Structure 1
Amino acid sequence: MTDFIAEMMERLPDRLLPLDAWHRERGGRMVPFAGYQMPVQYEGVMAEHLWTRENAGLFDVSHMGQVLLTGDAPDVALESVVPGEIQKLGVNRMRYSVLLNDEGGILDDLMVTRRERDLYLVVNGACKYDDLAHMREVFPDEVVITLLDERALFALQGPRAGEALASLIPDVASLYFMQAGAFTFDGMSLWISRSGYTGEDGFEISVDCDHAAQLADRLCALESVKPIGLGARDSLRLEAGLPLYGHDLDETVSPTEGDLAFSISKRRRSEGGFAGAERILEELAEGVDRKRVGLMVEGRQPVREGAELYVGDRMVGKVTSGGFAPTLGAPIAMGLVKAAFIDMGTVLEAEVRGKRIPVTVAPMPFVPHRYHRAKAV
């Protein structure tokens, strides 16, 4: 069990997902997370993790915030608080980015898609109301911000996700990684992107809440698809080296410290003009004091979030995510580590219940990504 799952089980419930009854009918073990009752597992985290690596898993991520930005120049407004290139983003193209405070810390990470008449954002469920409040505070009045509470969101992930979804909606086969479009299926209006947070090929599918059960039933009727809980989603994203907001990233961590410098586009590096640009551009030029790194753990005992990392008697960092990696058959972790100790192969020690466990700085992803990318011409 990862720290993520343990935390979910300690929180109080708030809202129900549109498919709450659907999950319970299929044996979903519901736990509180991000203000919702969420299915953490059905058959078990290990089995669901391995199924997704080999077939296709359907995740209910309706707790995430789906947001539309419309009105006058929403791309310009968004660029004031994210470091990515939004103004030149093509129609039906997506970009990962981070929402920044004035000090260059990360308030949330998010996906941005340009559509014909708006920008479509997907933000983290635990942050969505704070994100909306922040954007409303800093954006001009001409930009309209709308939370799509009437839409559910699914993630279909795994090496057979493409064939599975195309068997129902053939036109999705034309999508490559980080592309999106509007589709109609069985009377449902869907917004589908080829994206996800497991490191596998897959899709995120936005559907009206009234049609969510209908779509889930059609997908899970396919022999390659099973419903998968958020426990496996967490272990999959950890193997993929993908950060989890509130754990690996927070408002004290900059994109450069979080190993997300790729999210800072070339024009933005040159022009600046985004929140926290002074700090972030200085870090790009001069380096950072700490950085998010991958850690391979010696032995079988997982190293959990919060474990202190040492070189001798000197504390040099902390673990931010940790757990067992089913694909590798070994424990892995991520941590924020002082820059002097982030070279690949550097051996540190994690303190767990008074015992020191050797960990080695390792490249990420731990398991290679298998996104369905367009071939270079």
Structure 2
Amino acid sequence: MSDLPADTLLNVEDAPEDQEEPQLLPLDAWHRAHGGRMVPFAGYIMPVQYEGIMAEHLWCRENAGLFDVSHMGQLVFTGDGVDPAQALEAVLPGDITGLGQNRMRYSLLLNEEGGVLDDLMVTRRAGEEGTDEIYVVVNGATKYDDIGHFLDSMSDDITINLRDEQALLAVQGPKAVDAVSRLIPGVEALVFMTAGAFEWNGTPLWISRSGYTGEDGVEISIPAEHAAAFADAICAEPEVKPIGLGARDSLRLEAGLPLYGHDLDPETTPVMADLGFALSKRRREAGDFAGAARILAERESGPAVKRVGLIVTGRQPVREGASVVAEDGSVIGRVTSGGFAPTLGAPIAMAYVPAALAIVGTAVRLIQRGKVHDATVSAMPFVPHRYVRQSTKTGA
């Protein structure tokens, strides 16, 4: 069982009651054999923890952890005489056509009002036919809606292939690349937000140096039938242990990374969410993306509310759904993620507050279940990112 309170399992056990029967991950039996406590999440049964969230969190910060993120949608876009990168710019606000080979970019799927339908990772890579293809990883809970939106927004010359025969594994932590490179030489030459094709025991892999913890690490797309063997091999390395959803959530919260469906939704714009970096300069100048009029106006005049980090006074975490209140008790904002930060030894949260309060050091009050909590607006990330932006390969 957890070494933290039960309600520390943030955003994990929140599957709706009317959801269809959850699917099983390719590694379902592997997780159970390794002591994983399984829970429904994003339409799947997934491991929330193995030996305890606190221990797993700290292990990943100091060593390396294996995360199964096979619920995510792995999409490949190809074009029949059409550049799929150009087609994607109809629905994404980033410079996708300017993306170099094996280069990645964080982007946002937007609706016509500028609201966020999903956040995702985009990579240009060489396709099997010798032409470029675009590899996109989307959130698990939204992948089928995303595919529908893409199909509605693109011409029939674009083909979208959901690679559901592929598992997706992440190895994260300061010792992650050292461990992976023993199995897959050459991985250490990758830098943050680059990717490439590799092999392990004759099995083709697609590996990116990226992740969702704020730590260095890689994400590995591997044929599902080989995932368990690879999981065994990487966890045989002394630095690597399996890590569940609970620690994944607390790690990404410390890293200041939003979670779709909680910190991002169709009512939230990139400017409100403090994700303006995902709007490339060329696209801003052209104003040719979904929701551009509203988003550019918010960039010019400022949004009504902004996503901020909060350090909560005391030891009691404040959870998603808590209210941010003014001195007279009126509700002026909302907490979208919150929990105890093992690295800091203190509770933290993300919230949307009026823009005038989105200044580091501003004191705010939160109400959760009738109890008042004091908090202070903090810069994010709460824990510095440790991405590797220069090759660690000798002589590189």
- Report TM bin, short chain: over 0.9
CA contact (8 A) 1:92 1:115 kept: yes
The residue aligned with 1:312 is 327
Whole-Å separation in 2 of the counterparts to 1:212 and 1:168: 14
AA partner of residue 47 (structure 1): A
AA partner of residue 41 (structure 1): Q
Report the 3-state secondary structure (helix = DSSP H, G, I; strand = E; otherwise coil) of the residue aligned with 1:269: helix
The residue aligned with 1:95 is 105
Question: For each residue in 1:116-135, what CA deviation from the matched residue of structure 2 results, as whole angstroms up to 9, or x when unmatched?
Answer: 22000000000000000000
Matched pairs, number: 376
AA partner of residue 191 (structure 2): Y
AA partner of residue 26 (structure 2): P
The residue aligned with 1:36 is 44
Q: CA deviation at 1:13?
A: 4.6
Q: CA deviation at 1:320?
A: 0.3
Question: What TM-score results when the alignment is normalised by the length of structure 1?
Answer: 0.98
The residue aligned with 2:3 is none
Structure 2 matches for 1:208-247, cutoff 5 A? Answer: 208-247=223-262
The residue aligned with 1:46 is 54
- The reply to whether residue 352 of structure 1 matches residue 368 of structure 2 is yes
The residue aligned with 2:181 is 166
CA contact (8 A) 2:64 2:175 kept: yes
Instruction: Choose from 4, 7, 11 the match for 2:11.
Output: 4
Runs of 4+ in 1 over 3 A off after TM superposition: 8-13
Q: CA deviation at 1:316?
A: 1.8
Q: CA deviation at 1:8?
A: 5.3
CA contact (8 A) 1:13 1:31 kept: no
Q: CA deviation at 1:367?
A: 0.2
Structure 2 matches for 1:79-90, cutoff 5 A? Answer: 79-90=89-100
Q: CA deviation at 1:2?
A: 3.8
Q: CA deviation at 1:12?
A: 6.8
Report the 3-state secondary structure (helix = DSSP H, G, I; strand = E; otherwise coil) of the residue aligned with 2:335: strand
Whole-Å separation in 2 of the counterparts to 1:151 and 1:312: 52
Whole-Å separation in 1 of the counterparts to 2:361 and 2:9: 24
Whole-Å separation in 1 of the counterparts to 2:375 and 2:152: 43
Structure 2 matches for 1:119-198, cutoff 5 A? Answer: 119-198=134-213
The residue aligned with 1:295 is 310
Whole-Å separation in 2 of the counterparts to 1:333 and 1:319: 7
Whole-Å separation in 1 of the counterparts to 2:44 and 2:331: 36
Q: CA deviation at 1:356?
A: 1.1
Any stretches of 5+ residues in structure 1 without a counterpart?
A: none
More off after superposition, 224-233 vs 72-81: 72-81
Whole-Å separation in 2 of the counterparts to 1:13 and 1:58: 26
RMSD after superposition: 1.3
Whole-Å separation in 1 of the counterparts to 2:9 and 2:378: 19
Q: CA deviation at 1:9?
A: 9.8
Question: For each residue in 1:177-209, what CA deviation from the matched residue of structure 2 results, as whole angstroms up to 9, or x when unmatched?
Answer: 000000011111000000000000000000001
AA partner of residue 47 (structure 2): P
Report the 3-state secondary structure (helix = DSSP H, G, I; strand = E; otherwise coil) of the residue aligned with 2:11: helix
Question: For each residue in 1:115-171, what CA deviation from the matched residue of structure 2 results, as whole angstroms up to 9, or x when unmatched?
Answer: 022000000000000000000011011011110010000010000001001111120
Any stretches of 5+ residues in structure 2 without a counterpart?
A: 1-7, 127-131
More off after superposition, 58-67 vs 314-323: 314-323
Question: For each residue in 1:86-134, what CA deviation from the matched residue of structure 2 results, as whole angstroms up to 9, or x when unmatched?
Answer: 0010000000000000000000000000002200000000000000000
The residue aligned with 1:269 is 284
Question: What TM-score results when the alignment is normalised by the length of structure 2?
Answer: 0.93
Whole-Å separation in 1 of the counterparts to 2:51 and 2:273: 33
Whole-Å separation in 2 of the counterparts to 1:208 and 1:186: 12
Whole-Å separation in 1 of the counterparts to 2:371 and 2:189: 52
Q: CA deviation at 1:252?
A: 0.4
